[in-house]
Amino acid sequence: MTVLRLKGVGHAYLGRTVLDDVSLDIGSGEILALVGPSGCGKSTLAQIAAGLLEARAGRIERLYRRQAMIFQEPGLLPWATAFDNIAFSLKLAGAPRQNRRERVKAAATSVALMPEDLTKYPVELSGGMKQRVAIARALVIDPDFVYFDEPFTALDVALRRRMQDLLLETCVGSGLSGLFITHDLQEAARLADRIAVLDSHGKGIRGVRPVPGSPLERSNDQIFGWVEAALRDDLLFRHIHDVDERQIA
Residue 188's contacts (CB-CB under 8 Å, 6 or more residues apart) are: 33, 35, 180, 182, 195, 211
pLDDT tens digits along 190-247 = 999 999 999 988 899 999 999 999 998 999 999 999 999 999 999 999 877 765 544 4
3-state DSSP: the chain helix, strand, coil percent, rounded to 5?
40, 25, 35
- Residue 15 DSSP label: T
Chain-centre distance of CA 94, in angstroms? 24
Check: CB of residue 3 under 8 Å from CB of residue 63.
Answer: yes
What pLDDT score does 166 carry?
A: 82
Cα dihedral 61, 64, 68, 69, rounded to 10, equals -40
- The maximal CA–CA distance of the chain, rounded, in angstroms, is 56
Q: In whole angstroms, what is the distance from residue 59 CA to residue 82 CA?
A: 37
pLDDT tens digits along 122-148 = 999 988 899 899 999 999 999 999 999
Query: What are the beta bridge partners of residue 178?
Result: 31, 146
Check: CB of residue 66 under 8 Å from CB of residue 145.
Answer: yes
Q: In whole angstroms, what is the distance from residue 164 CA to residue 148 CA?
A: 12
Residue 229's contacts (CB-CB under 8 Å, 6 or more residues apart) are: none
SS3 188: helix
Task: Read off the pTM.
Answer: 0.90
Check: CB of residue 40 under 8 Å from CB of residue 196.
Answer: no
pLDDT tens digits along 195-210 = 999 998 889 999 999 9
Q: In whole angstroms, what is the distance from residue 118 CA to residue 104 CA?
A: 9
What pLDDT score does 248 carry?
A: 41
What pLDDT score does 242 carry?
A: 63
What pLDDT score does 243 carry?
A: 55
What pLDDT score does 167 carry?
A: 83
